[in-house]
Amino acid sequence: MNAIISAPELVNELAGSSPPVLLDVRWQLSMPTAGGAAPFDGRAEYTAGHLPGAVFVDLDRELASAAGPAGRHPLPDPEVFGAAMRRAGVSSGVPVVVYDGGQGWAAARAWWLLRWTGHPDVRVLDGGLPSWEGELDTDVRVPAEGDFTPVPGAVGLLDADGAAALARSGLLLDARAGERYRGEAEPVDRVGGHIPGAVSAPTNENVAADGRFLPADELTARFKTLGAADTTAVGVYCGSGVSGAHEVLALAVAGIPAALYVGSWSEWSGDAARPVAVGPDPQ
């Protein structure tokens, strides 16, 4: 099954006899500003215009639990996540397509959570909302409740100890920007740097200028250059388990299974007992 779907393909599927459920997961990391600018409001963006039939899903409230020692976007409580998915009309036997504002991170987080909890058919709209050429809708849809029941564990998940071990025994990719990996800048977390042994692999290098993923063969070549051999176990982390999900999605497009360390750097760096590496060298 493909992990992504193009806008023309989605148009065809929506016109078919078994259209997918559409989830709008617009979100972006909002940092405090000196001018006091209002934080990004995904629900307001959704209300202003969304794909026809799409239902809004709130990443911070429904795709994560409250920030704390486990990181800025820990796993959501399965009951909360399941209720949110059923409210959005998600059922186990109906395909799901997720999109966001174009960056792809939030959509990938929803994709990964649905895959991790056992949904068999989830895809991300490649390029997100900007790739859509049809009309947008402003009606707030209330779909019939779905029947999806999360069963966690269907795909790989890492904790901090597992990520540390994988950095030694396999390939642990750091999806953040290179300057954060090297410890030259850290705008969010307690300290800059990376997990010792992790390899820098910024997720923005997996996409073209329009936000669409590079062709599968190019992604495969990139990850093999980074060390993803056929027999190598692969894991990914980022700042808080959002952009890392996008890298796991890119790996899936390349045909490479990978586990996600959801706590990511926000959890790792919050524990002063965990070692921190800086500079371009993995160690």
Question: Largest Cα–Cα distance in the chain?
Answer: 55
**238 classed as catalytic:** yes
Angle at 61 between CA 133 and CA 270, to 5 degrees: 115
- The per-residue pLDDT for range 105-126, each reduced to its tens digit, is 999 999 999 999 999 999 999 9
Separation CA 115–CA 111 (nearest Å): 6
Listed by start position, the domains of the chain span 4-131, 157-270
pLDDT over 90 for what percent of the chain? 89
Residue 132, token pair as written in the block: 């859509």
Residue 3, token pair as written in the block: 């992990």
In the chain, how many H helices and how many E strands? 10, 10
pTM recorded for the entire structure: 0.95
Of the ranges 20-34, 61-75, 236-250, which one carries the lowest mean pLDDT score? 20-34
Q: Are 182 and 283 in contact (CB under 8 A)?
A: no
Q: Is 71 helix (H, G, I), strand (E, B) or coil?
A: strand
Q: In CATH, which superfamily holds the domain spanning 157-270?
A: Rhodanese-like domain (3.40.250.10)
Q: Are 201 and 173 in contact (CB under 8 A)?
A: yes
Partnered with residue 90 across adjacent β-strands are none
Q: Do domains 4-131 and 157-270 have the same CATH topology?
A: yes
Domain covering 4-131, topology: Oxidized Rhodanese; domain 1 (3.40.250)
| 74-83 average pLDDT score | 96
User: Can you give the pLDDT at residue 30?
Assistant: 59
pLDDT tier at 231 (50, 70, 90 boundaries)? confident
Q: Is the per-residue pLDDT at 33 higher than 60?
A: no
| 228-239 average pLDDT score | 93
Phi, psi of 142 (to 5 degrees): -115, 100
Catalytic residue, chosen from 238, 245, 259, 262, is 238
| 210-215 average pLDDT score | 96
Separation CA 105–CA 176 (nearest Å): 12
283/151: higher pLDDT: 151
pLDDT tier at 35 (50, 70, 90 boundaries)? low
